[in-house]
Amino acid sequence: MTDARETGLNVFRELMPGLLPDGEVNLGSGYSSELFELSLENVFGRIWGREGLSRRDRSLVTLGMLIALRANDELGIHFKIARTNGSPTTKSGRSSTTRADTPGSPPPLPHAGLRRRRSANSTQRSLAEMSGAT
**Alpha carbon distances (Å) from 15 to 29, 31, 60, 133:** 24, 24, 14, 63
Q: 7 is in which domain, residue-wise?
A: 1-51
CA distance linking residue 68 with residue 70, whole number of Å: 5
SS3 state at 48: coil
The predicted-structure confidence for 35-82, as pLDDT tens digits, reads as follows: 888 989 999 999 999 999 899 999 989 988 988 888 888 888 898 899
Is residue 126 located within the same domain as residue 85? no
* Domain end (from 15, 33, 51): 51
| Structural contact between residues 6 and 24, judged by C-beta atoms closer than 8 angstroms | no
Give the number of domains in the chain. 3
* Domain end (from 51, 66, 82): 51
pLDDT at residue 44 in the model: 92
Is residue 3 located within the same domain as residue 43? yes
| Structural contact between residues 103 and 34, judged by C-beta atoms closer than 8 angstroms | no
Does 125 fall in a domain? Answer: yes
Is residue 45 located within the same domain as residue 58? no
Mention every residue, 6+ apart, whose C-beta is less than 8 A from residue 104: 67, 68, 69, 70
User: Which whole number is the average pLDDT over 103-127?
Assistant: 53
Confidence band for 31, pLDDT divided at 50, 70 and 90: confident
Is residue 37 located within the same domain as residue 58? no
Confidence band for 23, pLDDT divided at 50, 70 and 90: confident
Nearest to 16, CA basis, from 89, 87, 84, 62:
84
Does 2 fall in a domain? Answer: yes
CA distance linking residue 16 with residue 90, whole number of Å: 20
Is residue 73 located within the same domain as residue 91? yes
User: Which whole number is the average pLDDT over 4-9?
Assistant: 90
Question: Is 80 exceeded by the pLDDT of residue 85?
Answer: yes
Does 42 fall in a domain? Answer: yes
pLDDT at residue 86 in the model: 86
Does 104 fall in a domain? Answer: no
